[in-house]
Amino acid sequence: MNKDRKTVFSGVQPSGNLTIGNYLGAIKNFSRFSEEYKTFYCVVDMHAITVRQVPAELRRRTYETLALYMACGLDEKKNTLFVQSHVPEHAELGWVLNCYTMFGELSRMTQFKDKSAKHAQNINAGLFTYPTLMAADILLYQTDLVPVGIDQKQHLELARDIAMRFNQVYSETFTVPEGYIPTDTMKIMSLAEPTAKMSKSDTNQNAVVYILDSKDDIMRKFKKAVTDSDAEVRYSEDKPGVSNLMTIYRAFTNKTFDEIEREFSGKGYGDFKAAVGEACADGLAPVRDEFARLIADKAHLESVMKAGADEAHYYAMKTMSKVKRKIGFVN
């Protein structure tokens, strides 16, 4: 790979409808990298099966996630868009890196603890070693920069540790990646419980705004959003509900918090929530329209998958052949 041009990698699981948190915190930012970087954006279907999936739904969501990538502005001619399971080197490097990842490191992963509590009947080995597969995803492409949500920061740090450990043992093999966490839309919180992150797996549908929600659904959810009793639109740690709505409004309007506070000075929360809902629905409308067009053309999505997998495989194979040589596998 020509390292004059740095590499970006990121992936999204096809395990449920994507939320405005996924959009504002990650996917919306992806397209800005494609002019300056070599970009790999992956639908990480192998990660999704750490939790039991309905096969037909997983297949449908894989197509939908790819279509959403494209609807959110990722041009398949400027970005390598592919499905993780179509590039076998992800699993191959994942196994190798398992042998350079310490049990204690994986035991400390907070997401493993959280998911184990949620899925107590299915605490499988994949759930435990998920961060090592994520490291393989990143390191395969000699990635320089990983746009990542703050909840994945711990996993990225582990990927860096694994890369440095491997490089120390076998000489320079992997690029040690840096994280990119946008500071302005770092974390979108639940509308019902604003101290918790908005999650696509939330059972309370009013807590989550999905990218593909209708305008009516978006308006209804924002009207029900939890705020507080003092009726003042002000960004503050002691006002998590209002602050979350202000973050969302800022993301869709590019207004500063000071501008938002002035705009709604003396107005009630009803006006504020309606304005946030309108801004969100209007901002997502072009994405929903483009998604509807793309998802109707399955053959085109499959051609994008194939072209992306072929290109990703080319780069992944180069890294894998280097790794195999260094650890002593016979070519």
Distance CA 194, CA 226 (A): 7
Phi then psi for residue 235, to 5 deg, are -85, 120
Q: Identify the active-site residue in 6, 78, 187, 197.
A: 197
Contacts of 293 (CB under 8 A, 6+ apart): none
Identify which of 47, 41, 45 has the alpha carbon closest to the alpha carbon of residue 81: 41
Dig out the tokens for 331 from the structure. Answer: 């070519």
Dig out the tokens for 166 from the structure. Answer: 């491997």
Decide: helix, strand or coil at residue 165: helix
Cβ neighbours around 242 below 10 Å, total: 26
Residue whose tokens read 């929360």? 269
Dig out the tokens for 73 from the structure. Answer: 């502005």
Contact 18, 211 (CB under 8 A): yes
Residue whose tokens read 């954006």? 41
Query: Active-site residue 200, yes or no?
Result: yes
Phi then psi for residue 132, to 5 deg, are -75, -40
Dig out the tokens for 45 from the structure. Answer: 């279907």
Query: Active-site residue 306, yes or no?
Result: no
Q: Identify the active-site residue in 38, 115, 221, 239.
A: 115
Q: Identify the active-site residue in 6, 78, 200, 255.
A: 200
Query: Active-site residue 197, yes or no?
Result: yes
Q: Among all residues, which ones are annotated catalytic? A: 115, 197, 200
